Structures are given as structure tokens and as C-alpha cells.
Amino acid sequence: MMRVRLLALAAAAALLAGCSSLPSWVPFTGPDKPKPAELKPNPNLIGVREAWTARIGKVDFPLVVAVNEATLTVANSDGAVIALDAASGRELWRASAGGPLAAGVGSDGTTAAVVTRNNELVAFSAGKEVWRQQLNALSYTPPLVAGARVFVLGGDRSISAYDGATGRRLWSQQRQGEPLVLRQAGVLLAVRDTLVVGQGGRLSGLNPLNGTARWDAPIATARGINDVERLVDLVGRVSRVGDSVCARAFQAAVGCVDTTTGRTAWTQRANGAEGIDGDAAGVFGTENPGTVVGWRRDTGQRTWTNDTLLHRGVGTPLALGRSVVVGDSFGFVHLLSREDGTLLNRLATDGSGIAAAPAAAGNTLVVVTRNGGVHGFVPQ
């Protein structure tokens, strides 16, 4: 019986680690796959036009678009790292990590960092490689570049800090690894002078100078009878407004934490696998099998749901202006009202799935597709 259980866990681990090399929202593609919801007519209630496009190469890893004022930094699966001007799409520089990527991009506007599938952390400045370091564990989370340091969240949820100029490892914090690991971005950000990290179903505040713990706040508690059911890792992106950080625990909950005190403000059960976004009033996310949901930021009370995009593989949203922006696996970008979730406009890209959470850079909405198209949209 023990051998059977171990084999079952190994199969589950392969499923979670292997399939999630694609975004976790990619729909099931078997012979009995659910039929995607038919798109309703586009009301075109807000004017948006495509201002520019760029090509970067195929994207099949958990890409996060780094935005630093008017500069976007993106990457493709083969290891090319590219900086673009957000207003025009013009390429500013291009570099290579020397191999396929597992995570990226993190940038503070001066230093950009990615992680290769060979467990190498590679840093660039102005398009030139400045250093690389071998990691002890593979990472699926873009490095955080802040305070002249580069922080790495391992797939085993270990945390390491490196000198941003030299790559010298400054400290490392190891924790007991989970039996299964999601191959998608976790939670890693800076809030004032605290490093905020997702570890299991908890949001932890660390001292960035040495990695010591300051506080620990639960978002979700593991439940179930096997390791798959008990998986409650926090996934990116998160919504930060001031000292409030809201995050999703995989297939378990959404919640908000006050990072000054480490107190959990609220949690609500939620069955989703993608990150969230929000503003001072609301938090927005996507639930299986494609419902888009709004919650009140102060109480966690659900405010609206939109179930018109079921089985379309909708991903992580972006709160932008009066809209909640979500991409799908068919290359469409849906702009929903942040007030009630109704459709305001729909944008087309190149027909391949949206590969990264939409991003905003100044006046530009930026969308990256799996075929490597980068699309810049601006209001009319």
C-alpha cells in the first residue's frame, strides 16, 4: 500500500510540475473538454486602440512583465531578455540568459534578473550580463530586485538574497518543503522595509537584511486527505494598496493582510488558481471554470460575479481605470466594469493564448501572447 501511495504522489507531482509549465488556466484539451462560452457581442463602451506591437519569441513559462516607469522588460522561453519602450514598443536592448527560462522578469529599472531551467540566477544591466549564480533549487517566481539586492523564492519556498552588483549570496532561509510544488509564480514583494513572501498558505514578513521573521499571517489552512488536496500555496500576482496586501491561496482562499501588524484582515473561500489584483475599494480574481469575481477590499464580501467567460481559460486580472482586464487562452482581452463586472470592450491579439497577466505602463495596457506577440493598447 505504501508503494502504491508513493507512486500516486509521484504521478500527482509530475502533473502539477509538468502541466503547469503552461499557465494553470489553460483549458482541458481532451476529447470531452467543456465547450468554451460563446462570446457576446462587443459593446465597445470604452474606446481603446492598438498603438503598437512587438515580437519577442514564444513564451511557455510563467512570465511576469516588469514595469519601471516607461520601460517594459520581458523575456521568451529560449532565454532572450528584452527591454521595450512602453509608449512606442521600440526595443531598447536585448540580451540572452544562455538557456531556457523557468522564471522572470524582475527589475528595478537598472538591474533585470531571470532564472534559467538550469537553476541559474542571471542579472543584466543595460542589456549586458553582469553576473550569474547557481541556485540550490529551481524557482518559478520572478526574482525581486529591490534595495540593491536580488531576492529569490525557490520552488521549495526557500528564500535567498544576493548582492545586486556582484551576485554574492548574502543570506538564505530554508524551510521544510512541501511534497508538491506549483510550477507558477509565487508571492515575493517589498512593502516598505519588509520582505513579504508566500510560504505555503501563509504570508510572511521578513527582515530583508538577514531573512529573520517579523510576522506570519495565514491566508489558508491545508485540508484534505492527500498532498494534492492539501496544496494551498500562495500564487502571484498580489494586490497591494499601501500596507494592505491581498493574495490567493491555490484552490482554497483569497485574503488580505495588514503588513504593518501581520494581522489577517479577512479570508474568503475561493476556488481559483491564478493571482489577483485590486484597488483601494475592491479585489478581483478568476475562479474555476472561468468566473470573474469582485470582493470588497475592507470586508471580503463578494460584490459581483461574471460567468460569461466559462471554459475560456481566463487568467490573472489587472485593475485598470474603470476596468478589470482579463486575457483568455484564445487571445482575447476582456475589459469588464470594476463596478458590476459587465463587459465594456473586447480586444483581439494574435489568436494565441495570453501568456502573462496584463500590465499597465503609464497610459499603455500591455499584453503578451504565447506566440510572443507584445501588444500595446491605449485609450482613444
Digits of tens for pLDDT over the chain (380 positions)? 333 333 333 334 333 443 333 344 344 455 678 999 999 999 999 999 999 999 999 999 999 999 999 999 999 999 999 999 999 999 999 999 999 999 999 999 999 999 999 999 999 999 999 999 999 989 999 999 999 999 999 988 899 999 999 999 999 998 766 667 788 999 999 999 999 999 989 999 999 999 999 999 999 988 777 777 778 999 999 999 999 999 999 999 999 999 999 999 999 999 999 999 999 999 999 999 999 999 999 999 999 999 999 999 999 999 999 999 999 999 999 999 999 999 999 999 999 999 999 999 999 999 999 999 999 999 98
Q: In Å, how far are 39, 74, 128, 134, 241 from 81, measured between CA atoms?
A: 35, 6, 10, 19, 29
For position 5, what pLDDT does the model report? 35
Where do we find the cell 556582484? 166
Q: What is the CA radius of gyration of the chain?
A: 20
For position 14, what pLDDT does the model report? 36
CA–CA gap between residue 83 and residue 68 (Å, rounded): 10
The one-letter amino acid code at 39 reads L
Give every strand in the sheet of 343-348, ordered side by side.
Answer: 318-320, 323-327, 332-337, 343-348
Q: Residue 31: exposed, middle, or buried by beta-carbon count in 10 A (0-12, 13-18, 19+)?
A: exposed
Q: In Å, how far are 44, 93, 130, 189, 361 from 111, measured between CA atoms?
A: 39, 13, 9, 16, 18
For position 7, what pLDDT does the model report? 31
Cα angle value 149/155/160 (rounded, 5°): 25
Q: What is the 3-state secondary structure (H, E, C) of the chain?
A: CHHHHHHHHHHHHHHHHHHCCCCCCCCCCCCCCCCCCCCCCCCCCCCEEEEEEEECCCCCCCECCEEECCEEEEECCCCEEEEEECCCCCEEEEEECCCCEEEEEEECCCEEEEEECCCEEEEEECCEEEEEEECCCCCCCCCEEECCEEEEECCCCCEEEEECCCCCEEEEECCCCCCCCCCCCCCEEEECCEEEEEECCEEEEECCCCCCEEEEEECCCCCCCCCCCCCCCEEEEEEEECCEEEEEECCCEEEEEECCCCEEEEEEECCCCCCCEECCCEEEEEECCCEEEEEECCCCCEEEEECCCCCCCCCCCEEECCEEEEECCCCEEEEEECCCCCEEEEEECCCCCECCCCEEECCEEEEEECCCEEEEEEEC
Domain ranges in the chain? Answer: 43-60+305-380
43-60+305-380 in CATH: which number? Answer: 2.40.10.480
For position 1, what pLDDT does the model report? 35
For position 26, what pLDDT does the model report? 45
248-289 pLDDT tens trace? 999 999 999 999 999 999 999 999 999 999 999 999 999 999
The whole-model pTM stands at 0.91
Would you say 333 and 346 are in contact if contact means Cβ atoms under 8 Å apart?
yes
